[in-house]
Homo-oligomer: A and B are copies of this chain.
Amino acid sequence: MSDGWTEPSAGTAESHGKYISAIYRHMQILIAAELAPYRIGSGQYIFLMAIAGREGITQKELSESLLIDKTTTAKAIAKLEAEGYVRREANPADNRYQLLYLTEAGRDVVPKVQQGLNQVKSKASKGISDEDYAFMLDLLKQVLRNVSEHTRGGSAN
């Protein structure tokens, strides 16, 4: 649709990449600002919420379900642990891995983080109907499936 550069039939036209990237960067800023009071960065909240959703999860499982590199996971968990929100517990049956649990402070902060995330979500989805929003999520899921198939971290790391 005329952006300056060409557009032969299907393939060259406007791509989601530009918007995905811009939205991602702005969301990072909004979330970081929202969670700064709890000393939780935009790179950690997703792990905190995932652990809240299933205590006793391992780093490997986190990496797989969030499609994030395991070393990134390791560093984020280390930060959450340093802040006192997450606790590691060696699995007595297999000392190679450690089970992740929330601390008291972690359990206290999770609802606040959830609220902050809701703030950001409601800002971001203003002017979009629930149906349209749900439809967009479905399409984004399809895109994610497509792109994660083509990268190393597609299913594991």
Contact = CB atoms under 8 A, between A and B. Distances in A.
A46 to B, nearest CB: 7
Give the number of copies in the complex. Answer: 2
Contact of A17 (B16, B117, B144, B148): B117
23 contacts: A4-B54, A5-B52, A5-B114, A11-B118, A12-B118, A16-B136, A20-B20, A21-B27, A21-B46, A22-B66, A22-B148, A26-B151, A29-B152, A29-B153, A30-B151, A123-B147, A125-B143, A126-B146, A127-B146, A128-B139, A133-B139, A135-B139, A136-B136
A125 B144 contact: no
Interface residues of A, number: 63
Given A5-B49, A53-B5, A54-B4, A17 B121 contact: yes
Interface of A: 3-6, 10-12, 14-27, 29-31, 46, 49, 52-54, 66-68, 114, 117-118, 120-128, 130, 132-133, 135-137, 139-144, 146-148, 150-153
